Each structure stands twice: as C-alpha cells, then as structure tokens.
Amino acid sequence: MTIEANLPGRRASDVLLRQWENASVESVWLRPGDWYTPATEALVEALEARLDTAPAAFRLGQARAAAGVGITEAIDDMAVLFRSAGFESAPIRSIRALCEGWTEGDSAPVAAPTMKDPESGLGTTEYLTQRLAEVYGAAVRSGTQVPDTHAVVVVDVAVADPDPWQRMARNAAVGQALTNAYGEGYPMARLADGLYAVLVERGTSLGAGIAILRDHISDRAIAMRVGNLMRQPPRVWIESLPADHTYVASLLESLQR
C-alpha cells in the first residue's frame, strides 16, 4: 500500500506511522487487524521529536503482550519502525525497554474479556460467543436444534489496510447501520477488522432481507461519507450454525480468516 507523504494536513508522524504499519504488515506482522495501538503513535512521536524512545517502547511492549503478540514478533515490528525512519537498527536501550514492558504485560493478571467493541458500538467475539452459548442451552431445554432455529448473518466490508482513523469511521458506520437495521434484541458483534455478525432467528423473510441489509449498509456508508472505505457492495451472507455447541468457537474463528 502506498503512502502519500505530501498530503495537506498530514503530520510527519502520521506519515511515518503509516509507513511503519505498511512495512510491518508486509514483512513481519501476522494479523493486520490488530497492529494498531495508541502505543505505536507514542513511539513514533518520540522518535520524530528525537526524544528517548525507551519509555514509549516499554509501553508498546506492554500493549503487545496484552494483545497476545509474541516477543519475537514485537521486536521485529519495532525494528521495522527504525528502518522506516532511516536508522540501521533500533537502539539496544529501546529493545530492552520493549522486552521489559512485554514481560511485565505478559505476567499481569488476565483481565475479564471485553464485551463491547468501542469502535462499532457492537459486541465483541466474546460477547457473541456467550450469547450463542445461551441459545444452545435453551435449545437443549426445549428439545430443538439450533441450526433449525437460528443462523448468523455475516457482513464483510473489509478493504486493504485503511489507517486507524478511517477504520474507526468505517466501524462506526457499519455498527450504526446494523443497529438501525435490526433494532434492539439482536446480538451483534464485530468479529475482526471489517467483519461483523448478527445472530438471527430463521424465518421465511431471512433470505429476502439480505439484499435489503446490503443496500442499507451501502446507503449508510454514503450518508456518513465513508463509502470509499468499504467493499462495494458489501458481502452479506447467511452462515449456518453447527448442531453441537462445541464447534461454535471454530466457526467464529474460521470466519475471521
């Protein structure tokens, strides 16, 4: 992905941040959707200001550990930043600080899973997993089969590597579109960058409503001026649920690949 370094209003740190992300995703980073964290901005700003980058590197290490990123991937990623900025390598002091932050973050108590995605206003994968467990439990008690009564509507609007601000605008637009389309009472979640799911009951109107939902998302994107940040038209499909709750986690994981 090409970065336009001379766009009006772009700070130098914004340009370097985008260069770093693009180079890292193309070379060492495993999951593009989870690269950005505010700690990356702090490190870039310290580097651009010619300040000691060790404190920001420490915070980045903590953030990477909290996100489940391995120490090798975290070190390789930070090395990409310094190469992108024209340095031969990252300073030893900053590498050590990154490792110390990662170690501290990795040993910290595991926090309770987040149930609400702040960008879209929808639930998280953990939230949808919990709601699905409730549906399967109710099915066992009533003697019904979940594949016959429920399904998941999946929405994919992902495009190649929008910057964090564009990504947040896109998630907000889709979250609002889904909330407006379904209303209260429908478990919805952002599964990954540009990927969303809604738990629905099966019925005669389910298939016909897919085209309407696709148009609604497109219209909302245009109204919020983020249509250029989304796949056009959005991909919307009905995903069947497994008969056994044991395989739900595997299904949700497979949708994110």
The first and second tokens of residue 164, run together, are: 């964090």
Q: Which amino acid is at 130?
A: Q
Average pLDDT estimate for 166-184: 85
Q: Delimit the domains of the chain by residue range.
A: 12-107, 125-255
Tell me the average pLDDT of the chain.
83
What superfamily does domain 125-255 belong to in CATH? Reverse transcriptase/Diguanylate cyclase domain (3.30.70.270)
| Distance from C-alpha of 108 to C-alpha of 101, rounded to nearest angstrom | 11
Sign of CA dihedral 66, 175, 199, 136: positive
> Residues of the chain with pLDDT > 70: what percent?
89
For the chain, the residue count is 257
pLDDT tens-digit series, residues 230-249: 888 888 999 999 998 888 88
pLDDT tens-digit series, residues 53-107: 999 999 999 999 888 888 888 999 999 999 999 998 899 999 999 998 998 875 5
- Among the residue ranges 17-26, 29-38, 48-57, 133-142, the one predicted with the least confidence is 29-38
Read off the pTM: 0.56
Q: What's residue 173's pLDDT?
A: 87
Position 6 pLDDT exceeds 80 = no
At 5, is the pLDDT very low, low, confident or very high (cuts 50, 70, 90)?
A: very low
